[in-house]
Structure 1
Amino acid sequence: MEPGITREAVRELPKAELHVHLETSLRLRHLAQAQHAPSLAEPYLVSDPQRYVGYDRLRRLRYLGRAGKVPDRVYTHGNVAQVAYELLREAAAENVRYVEIRVGGRRGFALLGVRGMLEAIAEGRARAEAEFGVRSGTVVTLVRERGPEHAAEVAEIAASCVDCGVVGLDVAGDEENFPPALFVRACEVAREAGLGITVHAGEFSGPASVWTIIYQLGATRIGHGFRAVEDPELVAYLREHRIALEICPTSNLRLGLVGSWREHPLRALYDAGVRVTINSDDPLLLRTNLTAEMYTACRELGFTLDDLRTMTRYAVEAAFDRKAALAALAVPSARPS
């Protein structure tokens, strides 16, 4: 590792993050406990997630992380605004100055309405910007398992919520049983409204999934995408067309998709000239943050502080609100005390 690289040195770097989920139910549970709400029921114990790999493990980790169903009464406008604010407060403490928050919670959308949920998040985002100077946007995630009709409906509402700070559309979930072709219309709606398109691919599935979402859905960023390294032609295409990968190393390791940090393709993709960015994915669930991800990348993969600055530049240039990202990185933020 480059001499002089410490966790604090990495923390002090101005940063941008493109792939972080709000984890609404988990954060609401913590909020309810902080507010001395009655004890929430423990979950029915499912099989140890370590016995599973990939998407099955992700579902089990998220279920166990929620530790029981959060009561509907906790899903209020004020509470959702608070958890969005807290996510950004945590980011600002790590000198992350621009964040794109992903949200696709079924219950939040059902209980508050899609626009209501997005308005609550916008309120929390505005408060965080006022207090810490951290800029942000919302990326609405369409969950594949809910089907194309639901996706198109949510995309229509998201497209009408640019005033709430919606900057992009994401597609995530079960790639195997819900192929990209089902979500063409939803992505068209978003693109026509000027929203950016990012899609989870090249994570649980191989390089073919990345090719497909580029050609069928018009994705200009790839959620994860690390398995692109398996196809040299795809690597060359990503480099030539400046398509950014939202790499989330700890997430990939925790889901059993990569054996260790030193086996992660992040280094190979970066050296090949692909515009890789580093992200935390589910920070509360995975107990990580962007500083930890970047510092570990330096320690395990030999990245330098200049490399981190380059990857931050890639993130800023790939941001769906590039103007806000550029402005945020140019001005020192007010760190939480």
Structure 2
Amino acid sequence: MNSYIFETIEHHKESPAKIIITSIDHSDYHWHYDYELIMVVKGEIILSVLPEFCLMQEGDIALVNSKEVHGFQNNNQENICLIIQIKNEFFDLSDDKNQAYYFYLNSAKEAVKPRISYTHFQRTLAQIGLESGHMKKTSNLRIQGLIYMLISDLFDYIPHDIQQFANEAVQNTDSEEVLKIIRFIEKHLIYDNLTEELCKSIGMSEKGLYRFLKSTIDMTLKELIDVTRLNHAIYLLSYTDKDNSTIASECGFCNDNTFYRCFKKMYGMTPLVYKNNTADDKKPKRIKEVQGYLDYSKREAFQLLKKYVEIEGGLRLDAYAQD
């Protein structure tokens, strides 16, 4: 499994956002400066924004804030997702570069509800996704207008906080340090003295590491190790023929029972049930050129997006008919 300390997102010079329609296999923990909106168009995925996890089902939308450590995981079935990555500079409403806006948008959790229906955001996101499939000269202009409207709606209707940092360098360093810790854990899952070796590698005491993880991602080291081991177990269950005992050992679990208990607690099913649900004939085809993405039907994706676009305010569905 690969880890990414920092993901560089390339944008078209005339566009404030990068738009991706894809089927997700997995995405290891990473972070980037962009604000990222995810809409599940088909199926379901597991979204991890440390320290929390949530199951996103068809129609759910979520926003990953700038510099948040996050990852995705396929949940045993085909999925199609719309991902919109917006440059963080378009969220700078203040001259203070040490301020950042943190939005609470996740329809799968609904811990904090927006001041407008989720349907409003589904429609806007679907319009952006549909426009991205066109080659018309006006499509980029339309996408820009929709993105600016989306950003305005986030500020107007989504609860958010203003986070103040001592300086931007400290904020970036914390994210990099978290990913450095995760990368070390991934590479040394089977170590009996993993905690001791990790502390030596990063130059922290065990107590200092505990305080750092609690303050940055609100997780203990044991919780982070268990999550990382389970992520690797998911990969092995999905794409190898190894038995449960072998997988438990390769992921660093002390015995099969511990592996079974942790897995069922996290995913609500046993490793065997998960493996049977990802039989070869049920797996989407992998796209080898793109890590973590699977093949999908473009026609199906656009047909599914259309259902979120209502005939309203002069907007016509036939404007999105595919050539």
- Answer yes or no: same fold by TM over 0.5: no
Between 1 and 2, higher relative CO (CA 8 Å, sep ≥ 6) is seen in 1
Return the structure number with greater helix share: 1
Larger radius of gyration between Structure 1 and Structure 2: 2
Give TM class, smaller chain.
under 0.3
TM-score normalised to the size of structure 2? 0.27
TM-score normalised to the size of structure 1? 0.27
